[in-house]
Amino acid sequence: MFTIDCRAISPLSFDAVIAAIAARYAGTHVVEWDWYAERRAREVAVCERIGMPIPNPPLESLDRVWAEKGVQRGFGVPIREGLNLYARLDKTGGYFFCRSGEFSEHDVAPLIDILKQFGLSLQYCSNSGARG
């Protein structure tokens, strides 16, 4: 698997990044408007179903990260036929990856250009490790 890890030096306007990506890649769509809220709701439902007390350490950990990062969007980016990326972005940055298969830097060159326009520090990782 190949991933793109993005780090923001200052608070990122992630909705502006998503809009720029959507302008380049038709079909880009948000699948989770607030990933942490949706994750917390799922975790609370599991806790209630199994009788685990609330609050509990896993929920408290999730709450701490959510408080630090704020809203995080999960979205899909159709790069080309057969290559769809999943991404999550918040004010600190985020990541992009392919849920099945791999992709090359060449496949996503326009996406990388967009991310760089927003001043994101990028690192590319594959099964063999970080590549810069």
Which residues, in sequence order, are CB contacts of 127 under 8 Å at separation 6+?
1
The two beta strands, 83-90 and 29-32, are: unpaired
Tell me the average confidence (pLDDT) per consecutive run of 10 residues in the chain, 132 residues long. Answer: 90 98 98 97 96 96 96 97 96 93 88 97 77 52
- What pLDDT, in 10s, does the model give residues 8-42? 999 999 999 999 999 999 999 999 999 999 999 99
- What pLDDT, in 10s, does the model give residues 34-43? 999 999 999 9
